[in-house]
Amino acid sequence: MLGKKMIRDIFKHKTQFLSIFLMAFLGVFVFTGISGEYIGLEDNINDYYEETNLADGWIYSPYLNDCFWNKLII
């Protein structure tokens, strides 16, 4: 009974149903596209870091001088 009413309402309001369907479809499409691109970009960045042996981080400070680095190396 409820299924018949749902089908009747969909056919009665085709444009409204179509617009809501398209909005939901576009939302899912954009979400999956962005998440897929993020995962691909993250994989490419990790591969680049591994290939080039890039540093994991850098330390910047105005208080670091040559004496500090000489103590670290020795």
Please write the tens of the pLDDT for every residue from 27-38: 999 999 999 999
The percentage of the chain sitting over the pLDDT mark of 70, rounded to a whole number, equals 89
State residue 8's pLDDT score: 92
Residues 54 and 47: beta-carbon distance below 8 Å: no
- Is pTM beyond 0.75? Reply is no
Residues 74 and 68: beta-carbon distance below 8 Å: no
What are the residue ranges spanned by the domains of the chain? Answer: 2-73
Please write the tens of the pLDDT for every residue from 6-20: 899 989 999 999 999
Pair of tokens at residue 52? 């080039």
State residue 59's pLDDT score: 77
